[in-house]
Structure 1
Amino acid sequence: MTAATPAPPRPSDPLAMLLAAPHRAMFLVGAIALLGNMVWWTWALVAAWRGLPFAPQAMPAAWAHGFLMQYATLAPFVLGFLLTVFPRWLNTPEVPRRAYASVFGLMLGGGGLVLLAQSGMPDMLRPGLAAMLAGWLVALSVLGTRLHQAGYRDLWAVSAFMALLAGAVGLTLALCYALGGAAVLMQAAISIGTFGLLVPVYATVAHRMLPFFSNNVLAGYRMVRPAWSLVGMLALSLAHLGLDLADISRWRWLADLPMAALLLWQWLAWQPWKARRPGLLAVLYVALAWLPLSFGLFAADSLALMLHGSSGWARAPLHALTIGFFGSMLVAMVTRVTHGHSGRPLAMGAVPWFAFIGLQAAAIVRVLADAAAQPWPWYVAAAALWLLALTPWVVRSAWIYLTPRRDGKPG
């Protein structure tokens, strides 16, 4: 009789467990930042609203908020996902532990230093940005090597890699600003972070994965993911970015209107009415609905600027995109990856549902806040809702990343 194969060891060392797979380490960086950076921002909002003293900062708080949420909070989740799936998409060797451990350490340390720079230690900005850029370049190197090995044949991988290249440009501009460059460099870095990095990479992952997930669980589902729709989304996002960088927002509707129409068509083509169950699939479609809505708001904002010379939308379109789409899709997709790679059932569960519903409330409050006569209490309320919704989810997720898989498998 053949002896049973022994179960893989179950390490008790949290660091060893954390580095067992790239998504564990990088998702933990993002999870920590989800709370840490928003605690700082909530206090910044309260201080600005009530005229309270605030520690010396390396850059204006609004810039830091945008930068930290893009490059130090959402980007680690993106890097963790791509470091995990690139070898599978491309049928290439796994990313070695030393590589993703380096990305983990540099992004965690760098993001922490940037936050310290905004909390009374402004001299920490330069080393923080340098560390983040170094970690980013390590990730680009290992992912680029695998893309080259695969002959650049996978459109989704090429698209995601190009978005990461844009992110590297944004981080470089931010570092140049910290080294004494003009303020416009940091402003450009923030715009690139949204429309050169996050919109393209989120759109790419959605284009590849949502029809795939749907086809796996829905009877009679018809997969629709033409290459032209992905290319169109990327081109229009970059067009928005170009018009933004050129400071001609009144013409931005030329990109935003067709973008909203294309995104709405794509959402409908993916047949969201069929995806009411299971919940882990339904939330992906709810999150995705924020994307055409946000670009519709961007178009309305731009048209108002063209026709009337001013707009009352303020930052409502941006927060429909960042909280509504980025935040909701983050909870939906990261919950799926976390459960799937920890031997747990592919189901939402109470804590992810609480986080997802809470983010919908936070997004709605923040979008509508700009229409209020006294918006500051609503700004603070939206930030508080973010923290309330995500704190249990972050704590639960961190525990999963630091403990072995339930099924005893490695990774």
Structure 2
Amino acid sequence: MTTTLLAYPFRLFFLLVGLYGVAIVLAWTGFLFGGLALPVGWSPLHWHSHEMLFGFTSAAVAGFILTAVCNWTGAPPLQGGKLLLLGLVWSLGRVAMWSAGYLPLWLVALLDMLFLPALGVILLRILLAYGNKRNLLLGGMILALSAANLLMHIGFITGKQGWLVQGETLAMNLITLIMLVIGGRIIPMFSANWWRNQGINVQPRVIPALDKACLLITALLIPAAFAGLPWLTGGIALAAAVLNAWRWLGWRGWRTWSEPLLWVLHIGYGWLVIALLLKGLAAFALVGASAWQHALGAGAMGTLILGVMTRVALGHTGRPLQLPPLAWLIYVGICVAAVCRMAAALGWTDYRLGVMFAAAGWCFAFSLFTVIYWPILSRPRLDGRPG
């Protein structure tokens, strides 16, 4: 089993995502409502945010990117001892973050900041070696995430909240861009392939100029955040929401209602649009800031990560693109989590009740993913091919 887990990056990192997705939310709700003491040595709220962004999400990005780059370039996968080492580097960061109350904060920062630069360098080396310039932007985004991580650690070390907020905001904006780029590539392509295989005469509407406009306007949120002008951030976010909604509607996601592996991806991108809309409204003090943050986190990130993992794990292990029995409940769980967390953030329901239902849905979804997909990820491909 160990050899198989190290045969391809998605195998190891997707299991880590499933396990850590449960652990981090259980710990946070235990702290909020159960009196659990978190030995973190700094702001528990920002520790939770940090681990969702740089622990949980970074593992998901690694699993997908290091797998996809093999398709983009024809390069052999990172595997064996090198993959194990990268997984251990990620794990070392998690141990440091969970022990931050007992370690010097500079050491916590050093250990935690090893992973993303390593991931970025590995990706960029492969892309440059194979002349794949189109995807260099993604490598740059991962290295920029390292800078966001540094800002948060400076905030923890100095005790200045401004650094924490800047690092957190930069990370969220970068992850939004990563989801925008990856979602824009795979969602219309997967949908078109399925419609063609089903004999359905439908095509997603893909407008290259609109795709570029979505990327550009959403990227402008990064310098706008540092400018410190709420009206500027709000205007850009609302414009990004409109353009991304136009793009999303063009993919005709409602025509995939009978295929869970597809509609979950469309729903995930829909949450990205909602997050941008709420970000714009929050800048004008029309809703609380936590609304867009949780639309992005519990909604877009949680849904897209599960949607991508459940599909990639099937396709890359030689299995038919058909959900295993009961796996559709994974999507039910994450949808419940996203809706309940949003309801709590917007004050539509009792905060404690909303967060607890959201946590239950989240933990159910990632626990079920881990249980169902553990044998898929830890066993050889069904078709006998390597990987």
TM-score, structure 1 as length reference: 0.85
Note the alpha carbon deviations across 1:140-192, whole angstroms, 9 max, x for none. Answer: 222111222343532xx133222212112122323444554743333222112
Using a 3 Å threshold, how does the CA distance of structure 1 residues 278 and 372 change in structure 2: closer, same or farther? closer
Counterparts of 2:296 and 2:326 in 1: how far apart (Å)? Answer: 23
In the TM superposition, residue 289 of structure 1 has moved relative to its aligned partner by 1.6
Counterparts of 1:229 and 1:151 in 2: how far apart (Å)? Answer: 26
Q: Structure 1 residue 318 and structure 2 residue 280: aligned? A: no
Q: Structure 1 residue 193 and structure 2 residue 171: aligned? A: yes
Contact 2:93–2:114 (CA under 8 A) maintained in structure 1 = no
In the TM superposition, residue 227 of structure 1 has moved relative to its aligned partner by 4.1
Contact 1:342–1:406 (CA under 8 A) maintained in structure 2 = yes
In the TM superposition, residue 389 of structure 1 has moved relative to its aligned partner by 2.8
- Per the alignment, residue 399 of structure 1 pairs with 375
Counterparts of 2:104 and 2:44 in 1: how far apart (Å)? Answer: 15
- Per the alignment, residue 161 of structure 1 pairs with 139
Question: Helix, strand or coil for the counterpart of 1:369?
Answer: helix
- Of 33, 36, 40, the match for 2:27: 40
Q: Tell me the amino acid that sits aligned with residue 280 of structure 1.
A: L
Using a 3 Å threshold, how does the CA distance of structure 1 residues 276 and 339 change in structure 2: closer, same or farther? same
Q: How does 1:117-132 map to 2 (within 5 A)?
A: 117=100, 121-123=101-103, 126-132=106-112
Note the alpha carbon deviations across 1:221-253, whole angstroms, 9 max, x for none. Answer: 335444433433333333223333444334322
- Per the alignment, residue 15 of structure 2 pairs with 28
- Per the alignment, residue 151 of structure 1 pairs with 131
Q: How does 1:202-241 map to 2 (within 5 A)?
A: 202-219=179-196, 220-241=201-222
Contact 1:38–1:387 (CA under 8 A) maintained in structure 2 = yes
Q: Tell me the amino acid that sits aligned with residue 356 of structure 1.
A: Y
Counterparts of 1:375 and 1:174 in 2: how far apart (Å)? Answer: 27
Unaligned runs of 5+ in 1: 1-13, 306-310
Deviates more, 1:266-275 or 1:220-229: 220-229
Question: Helix, strand or coil for the counterpart of 1:346?
Answer: coil
In the TM superposition, residue 72 of structure 1 has moved relative to its aligned partner by 0.4
- Per the alignment, residue 266 of structure 2 pairs with 285
Contact 2:55–2:94 (CA under 8 A) maintained in structure 1 = yes
In the TM superposition, residue 373 of structure 1 has moved relative to its aligned partner by 7.1
Using a 3 Å threshold, how does the CA distance of structure 1 residues 373 and 216 change in structure 2: closer, same or farther? closer
Q: How does 1:238-317 map to 2 (within 5 A)?
A: 238-303=219-284, 305=285, 311-317=286-292
Deviates more, 1:169-178 or 1:314-323: 169-178
Note the alpha carbon deviations across 1:24-79, whole angstroms, 9 max, x for none. Answer: 122222222101111111112214xxxx4634432211101111011100111111
Counterparts of 1:89 and 1:372 in 2: how far apart (Å)? Answer: 44
In the TM superposition, residue 262 of structure 1 has moved relative to its aligned partner by 0.9
Counterparts of 1:152 and 1:377 in 2: how far apart (Å)? Answer: 48
Question: Helix, strand or coil for the counterpart of 2:150?
Answer: helix
Query: For this pair of structures, how many residues does the alignment match?
Result: 382
Contact 1:26–1:79 (CA under 8 A) maintained in structure 2 = yes
Report sequence identity in percent: 23
Unaligned runs of 5+ in 2: none
Using a 3 Å threshold, how does the CA distance of structure 1 residues 179 and 257 change in structure 2: closer, same or farther? closer
Deviates more, 1:129-138 or 1:68-77: 129-138
In the TM superposition, residue 360 of structure 1 has moved relative to its aligned partner by 1.1
Question: Helix, strand or coil for the counterpart of 2:37?
Answer: coil
Q: Tell me the amino acid that sits aligned with residue 194 of structure 1.
A: M
- Per the alignment, residue 62 of structure 1 pairs with 45
- Per the alignment, residue 86 of structure 1 pairs with 69
Using a 3 Å threshold, how does the CA distance of structure 1 residues 146 and 225 change in structure 2: closer, same or farther? farther
- Of 356, 361, 384, the match for 1:380: 356
Counterparts of 2:207 and 2:47 in 1: how far apart (Å)? Answer: 37
Contact 1:224–1:270 (CA under 8 A) maintained in structure 2 = yes
- Whose Rg is larger? 1
Contact 1:92–1:149 (CA under 8 A) maintained in structure 2 = no
Counterparts of 2:289 and 2:152 in 1: how far apart (Å)? Answer: 24
Aligned-residue CA RMSD (Å): 2.4
Counterparts of 2:369 and 2:6 in 1: how far apart (Å)? Answer: 21
Note the alpha carbon deviations across 1:343-379, whole angstroms, 9 max, x for none. Answer: 3221223443112111111111111113147423322
Deviates more, 1:228-237 or 1:337-346: 228-237
In the TM superposition, residue 338 of structure 1 has moved relative to its aligned partner by 0.9
Q: Structure 1 residue 345 and structure 2 residue 359: aligned? A: no
- Per the alignment, residue 9 of structure 1 pairs with none
Counterparts of 1:373 and 1:276 in 2: how far apart (Å)? Answer: 29
In the TM superposition, residue 96 of structure 1 has moved relative to its aligned partner by 5.3
Q: Tell me the amino acid that sits aligned with residue 45 of structure 2.
A: A
